[in-house]
Chains A and B, each alone.
Chain A
Amino acid sequence: MAKKSEGGMKAKRLTADIITYIFLSIMCVVWLLPFFWVIMQSFRDGIGQFISTFLPEKYTLKNYIALFTDFTTINFPRMFMNTFFVACCSCVISTFFVLAVSFSLSRVKWKMRKPYMNTAMVITLFPGFMSMVAVYFILKALGMTEGDKIYLSLIICYSSGAGVGFHVMKGYMDTIPKSLDEAAMIDGCTRWQVFTKITLPLCKPMIVYQIITSFMGPWMDFVFAKVIAGTKSQYWTVSIGLFNMLEKEYVEVWFVRFCAGAVLISIPISILYLMTQKCYQEAMGGAVKG
Chain B
Amino acid sequence: MSNTLTKAAAKRNSGKDPYSLLAALQNGGPVVWASCLIMGLGNMLNGQLIKGLIFLAIELGVFAFLFLGEGMDYIKLLPSLGDREMQEVWNDDKGIYEYVMGDQSQLILLYGIAALCIIALLVFVWQMAVRSGYKAQTMKRNGEKVLGFVDDFKTLFDENIHKLLMILPTAAIAVFTILPLLYMMSMAFTDYSKDNNTLVLFNWVGLDNFKALFSSTNAIGKQFGDVLTWTLIWAFFATFLNFFLGTFVAIIINRKTIKLKGLWRGCLSLTIAIPQFVSLMIIRSMLMPQGIINRMLLDSGLIDTALPFFSNATWARVAVIVINCWVGIPYTIMQVTGILQNIPAEQYEAATIDGANAVQQFMNITLPYMIFVLTPYIITQFTGNINNFNVIYLLTRGEPLQIGNTAGDTDLLVTWLYKLTVDQQKYNMGAVIGIFTFVVLAVVSLVTYRSSGSYKDEEAFK
A residues neighboring B (CB under 8 Å)? 13, 17, 20-21, 23-24, 27-28, 30-32, 34-35, 37-38, 49-52, 54, 96-97, 100-101, 103-104, 108, 110, 113, 116, 122-123, 125-135, 137-138, 141, 156-157, 159-164, 190-192, 195, 219-220, 222-223, 227, 239, 242-243, 246, 255, 258-259, 262, 265-266, 269-270, 273-274
Contacts and interface: CB of A to CB of B under 8 A. Distances in A.
Contacts of A37: 282, 286, 292
B278 A130 contact: no
A133 B176 contact: no
A220 B162 contact: no
B406 interface: no
Given A129-B414, A162-B169, A163-B169, A137 B183 contact: yes
A101 B394 CA distance: 34
Contact of B172 (A24, A38, A163): A163
B279 A160 contact: no
Contacts of A17: 255, 257-258
B178 interface: yes
A262 B281 CA distance: 10
Given A32-B267, A123-B177, A273 B277 contact: no
Contacts of B201: none
Contact of B418 (A129, A131, A138, A258): A129
Nearest to A196: B157
Interface string B171-210: 0110111111101100100000000000000000000000
15 contacts: A28-B264, A101-B169, A104-B162, A123-B181, A125-B442, A129-B418, A131-B180, A132-B180, A162-B169, A192-B164, A195-B165, A223-B389, A258-B281, A262-B282, A273-B272
A213 to B, nearest CB: 13
A177 B51 CA distance: 36
A193 B110 CA distance: 41
B19 interface: no
A160 B168 CA distance: 9
B273 A269 contact: yes
Interface residue tally on B, bucketed by range:
35 or more
B166 A269 contact: no
Contact of B387 (A128, A133, A262): A128
B278 A108 contact: no
Contacts of A101: 165-166, 169
B180 A20 contact: no
Nearest to A110: B162
Contacts of B389: 128-129, 223
B18 to A, nearest CB: 14
Interface in B128-175: 157-159, 161-162, 164-166, 168-170, 172-173, 175
A127 B438 CA distance: 7
Given A31-B270, A51-B295, A227-B422, A127 B414 contact: yes
A35 B288 CA distance: 17
Contacts of A113: 162
Contacts, number: 221
A100 B414 contact: no
A14 to B, nearest CB: 9
A52 B111 CA distance: 57
Contacts of A135: 176, 180
Contact of A20 (B168, B258, B283, B292): B258
Given A130-B417, A137-B180, A242-B278, 5 more contacts: A35-B274, A35-B282, A108-B161, A127-B434, A138-B179
Interface in B244-294: 249, 252-253, 255, 257-258, 264, 267-268, 270-279, 281-286, 288, 290-292
B286 A34 contact: yes
Contacts of A100: 165-166, 168-169
Interface in B411-441: 413-414, 417-418, 421-422, 427, 430-431, 434, 437-438, 441
A52 B295 contact: yes
Nearest to A23: B252
Nearest to A262: B278
Given A31-B268, A243-B281, A161 B434 contact: no
Nearest to A98: B169
A21 B178 CA distance: 52
B106 interface: yes
Given A101-B165, A160-B173, A125 B441 contact: yes
Contacts of A50: 288, 290-292, 295
Contacts of B283: 34
A190 B291 contact: no
Contacts of A274: 273
B414 to A, nearest CB: 5
A51 B293 CA distance: 11
A27 B107 CA distance: 54
The 8 A-B pairs with the shortest beta carbon distances in the complex, nearest first, are: A163-B169, A134-B180, A270-B273, A130-B434, A160-B176, A100-B165, A192-B157, A131-B180
B277 A130 contact: no
B354 interface: no
B277 A239 contact: yes
A133 B295 contact: no
Contacts of B414: 127, 129
A52 B295 CA distance: 6
Contact of A129 (B168, B417, B441): B417
Nearest to A192: B157
B97 interface: no
B441 A133 contact: no
B457 interface: no
A99 to B, nearest CB: 8
Contacts of A54: 292, 296
B249 A127 contact: no
Contacts of A104: 161-162, 165-166
Nearest to A251: B285
A38 B179 CA distance: 43
Contacts of A32: 267, 270
Nearest to A271: B273
A247 to B, nearest CB: 11
B422 A123 contact: no
B326 A30 contact: yes
A138 B184 CA distance: 11
Given A32-B267, A190-B158, A192-B157, A242 B165 contact: no
